[in-house]
Amino acid sequence: MVHVDDHATPRVLVIGSGIAGILTGIELRARGLTDFTILEKADTLGGTWRDNVYPGVACDVPAHLYSFSFAPNVHPTTRFASGPQLWDYFREIAERYRVTEHIRYGTEVADARWDGSRWTVTTTTGESLVADVVVSAVGRLQQPSLPDIPGISDFRGRVFHSARWDPAADVDGARLGIVGTGSSATQMTVATAPRVAHLDLFQRTAQWIFPMDNTPIPWWRRTLMRLVPGYARRYRAGIKRWVDEIGRAATGDPRAADERRQACVDALNTVRDPDLRAKLTPDYEVGCKRLVISGEFYDAVQRDNVEVVTAGIQRVEADGVRTTDGELHELDTLVLATGFHADAYLRPMTVTGEDGITLDDIWADVPMNYKSVALPHMPNFFLINGPFSPGGSASVLSIIEIHVGYVMQLIDRVVADRVALEPDPDRSAELLAAIREQASKTVWGTGGCSSWYLDRNGVPLVNPILLDDLAADMAHPEPTDFHAVPR
């Protein structure tokens, strides 16, 4: 039996002070729910744009779409905003809406446990905090995935993950190695190729590159955005429609898929050397992996000081990387742009809900959830951008806004009806099965690739839904999908 202690307003703990945590704080304050704390393991707010500081770091979603709809980012001077520009934007928003007053830094959550009336959250230092509602805003791409390469500790130069860039690393005139070919590796290649003495790009899998230049935004448009708020919102809406069109390709629209594929093929054909072009040609369908966006990558890899290495990495030695063809690639710095544990979600944090049921229990076979925002057997425990969130080219900002809006409606009911809410397990399983069935018919399930969109059985872990449909589906919670136990 679940019950909630009798007091007027719930105490809320939010885990993570990245984009989702900031927006959750804004919406809680807007409701007059000021008894909340945002727990942040680092010493500053941020998440993605705090952690990623490698050369060339930027968002591959147009800058004006990658902002809150209620506070358009009017400052970018180019189509894509850099990492530092985005961090400045989100910090300014957090301060403007007084979210920073609620953040506790240096506080990492190790465990959350439901005792039948509320949650006890324990930090890595052993401190215990009590809350009626917990909102996880930890972010999906925040635990670096490190490859198991023999001899890596023997390397005499600097070696680190792209999300843990060593500020002491100076690539100017250096011999640089980058392992990986995803978005981070692509951005680093473009940014460092003109600066290094030599760059080895170690490619295991070729990527489809969607060509989009980082074009300047005219001064008159930036002026209108600053002076006419309605114009900024209309401009953002126009970009959203355009990005949605790209996203339709992954969810089964044949015309959009053909247009997107042709754009990628045309970009690839700008590589003049047929041998290099062959190296860079993927053997899977466009969109099976998340598209890499760049209008400069193919120019960068055609420079005389850049080599795309397709031989496998055998081991790391003191002076560099030895590949399976026997060649030693001498390096000063080795960057592991090898992605993240996208399937970790809340882990390594442990969560125990009603009747001692744990997160590992309900995620033993698949990350069971309700619409990516709630978990069966976990009363008043909500997620933002959780498992089976939409994939493709959708802006995560739009997804987060939809999820936060939905969770806030659940919290409204917790407050108004004085209840504890948890999704019905059978209904959660039914909805998730429908998502997985639909996703298996998209390019993610049929495109012939291996990616972080797929589980170990090759079944997509993303929801093939367009943002407008997601917004409609999550406009209002369905009361009968939840168990509501009165206080």
Encode pLDDT of 44-98 as tens digits. Answer: 998 899 999 999 999 988 888 899 999 988 888 999 999 999 999 999 999 999 9
Per-residue burial over 346-358, b if 16 or more Cβ lie within 10 Å, else e, is beebebbbbeebe
Q: Is the same domain home to 325 and 203?
A: yes
Residue 189, pLDDT above cutoff 80: yes
Q: Is the same domain home to 324 and 346?
A: no
- Asked if residue 355 is part of any domain, the answer here is yes
Q: Is the same domain home to 309 and 381?
A: no
Average pLDDT of the segment spanning 418-445:
91
Q: Is the same domain home to 369 and 443?
A: yes
**Regarding predicted confidence, which is higher, 476 or 141?**
476
Q: Is the same domain home to 309 and 389?
A: no
Residue 6, pLDDT above cutoff 60: no
Could you read off the pLDDT of 448-459 as tens digits, one per residue?
777 777 777 777
Q: Is the same domain home to 422 and 294?
A: no
Burial environment of residue 484 by CB neighbours within 10 A (0 to 12, 13 to 18, 19 or more): middle
Query: Domain holding 467: CATH number?
Result: 3.50.50.60
Q: Is the same domain home to 354 and 309?
A: no
Q: Is the same domain home to 112 and 65?
A: yes
Q: Is the same domain home to 265 and 285?
A: yes
Q: What is the C-alpha separation between 476 and 480, in angstroms, rounded?
A: 12
Out of 317, 336, 355, a domain closes at: 336
Could you read off the pLDDT of 327-338 as tens digits, one per residue?
999 999 999 999
Q: Domain limits at 328? A: 152-208+251-336
- Short-list 262, 283, 273, 332, CA closest to 450: 283
- Asked if residue 239 is part of any domain, the answer here is no
Q: Is the same domain home to 482 and 375?
A: yes
In the prediction, which pLDDT does 341 show?
Answer: 77
Out of 311, 336, 361, a domain closes at: 336
**Regarding predicted confidence, which is higher, 448 or 27?**
27
**Regarding predicted confidence, which is higher, 464 or 391?**
464
Average pLDDT of the segment spanning 147-152:
94
Q: Is the same domain home to 99 and 197?
A: no
Average pLDDT of the segment spanning 213-237:
88
In the prediction, which pLDDT does 393 show?
Answer: 60
Q: What is the C-alpha separation between 425 and 178, in angstroms, rounded?
A: 44
**Regarding predicted confidence, which is higher, 199 or 345?**
199
Question: Which residues share a beta bridge with 176?
Answer: 199, 333
How many domains does the chain fold into?
Answer: 2
In the prediction, which pLDDT does 3 show?
Answer: 38
Q: Is the same domain home to 461 and 366?
A: yes
**pLDDT cut 70: percent of the chain above it:** 95
